[in-house]
Chain A
Amino acid sequence: MAEPGFTLIDDGRAVEVTHGAGVERAARAREAGRPVAMDLLERAAYLGVAAAERAAALASLEAPDFTLPDLDGRLHTLSAHRGTKVLLVAYASW
């Protein structure tokens, strides 16, 4: 019988691994100082980004880059706007 599967969500991407490999990699990420959220019933773990890494990036004052879709699914990247001033606005319907 095949070993039951497990989903690891790392850097926003989900990969399917065996249950054993998933739990093992989640434990290693935790040892490496990364935040890990795990759900053994759902057989999934989310590997986040360590506070130290985020803090170092923000303390450098360099604006963290990102790529996100618009309503039509077209992707936009912050750094493509280098050379212009940018007002970044996070909002929500809630």
Chain B
Amino acid sequence: MWQATYEELRSFGFTIITVALDKSPDDARPWIEAAKPAHPSLIDTRHVVADLYNMVNVPTIVWIDARGLIVRPNDVAFGTDTFKHLTGLEAAKHLGALRAWVRGEAAPLPDARRRQLQPLPTETDQQARAEFGLGQWLFARGRGEAATRHFERAGELAPHDFTIRRGTMPMRGVDPMGPKFREMRDAWAKAGNPYYRPLPE
């Protein structure tokens, strides 16, 4: 998905780090083997990155500058248009902005604007992540039924968090592309909520 962008921009002092929020390396393996990334392509079964960055869906991208500062907080972007027919989101707009930033042709957002755009977690969000954490630990130990209780509790606490509600479906024996997912997404949309939350213009 991102290998071509990495090849195009790597000479400008740039890298890409992809992180798969999947239940096991084997879930991510076919994607990684097909993409053949030359950049770090990591596996995050415990959703460490989702917790640290307050991410609530995938894909979520963050720009980090050479000093290690977040210069574009959680945004939605795809590396290619493979899923455009499903998501309605085009890769080109983000890629254009990314190129300009990496090549030094455009300044990133001012600090005040970044702070304003950076989503911060609530206590309930963090309680949901703790429930997810316990569920994931139980699941990894073959305690699927107990894990499901905590995954469901996590989803009730944070209904906007699809790394939990959809991301745990494969651990609850639910097809994350199937009718249960569509039902969840449609109910969410019907209540006036966006499934993807790109940064405002």
Contact = CB atoms under 8 A, between A and B. Distances in A.
Interface string A1-41: 00000010100101000000000000000000001111101
A84 B14 contact: yes
Interface residues of B, number: 86
B138 A79 contact: no
A81 B17 contact: yes
Contacts of A59: 115, 118, 120
B122 A51 contact: yes
A69 B69 contact: no
Contact of A41 (B32, B41, B54, B146): B146
Interface stretch (B163-171, B183-191, B192-200): B163-171
Nearest to B18: A89
Contacts of A78: 17, 64, 68
A91 B61 CA distance: 9
Nearest to B1: A91
B4 interface: no
A58 B118 contact: yes
Given A51-B121, A86-B15, A62 B68 contact: yes
A48 B122 CA distance: 13
Interface of B: 1-2, 5, 12-22, 25, 27-32, 40-44, 46, 48-55, 58-71, 73, 77, 79, 98, 101-102, 111, 114-115, 118, 120-123, 125-127, 129-131, 133-135, 137-138, 143, 146, 149-150, 153, 163, 166-167, 169-170, 176-177
12 contacts: A51-B120, A51-B125, A61-B118, A71-B28, A71-B29, A71-B41, A83-B13, A86-B16, A87-B2, A89-B18, A90-B60, A94-B27
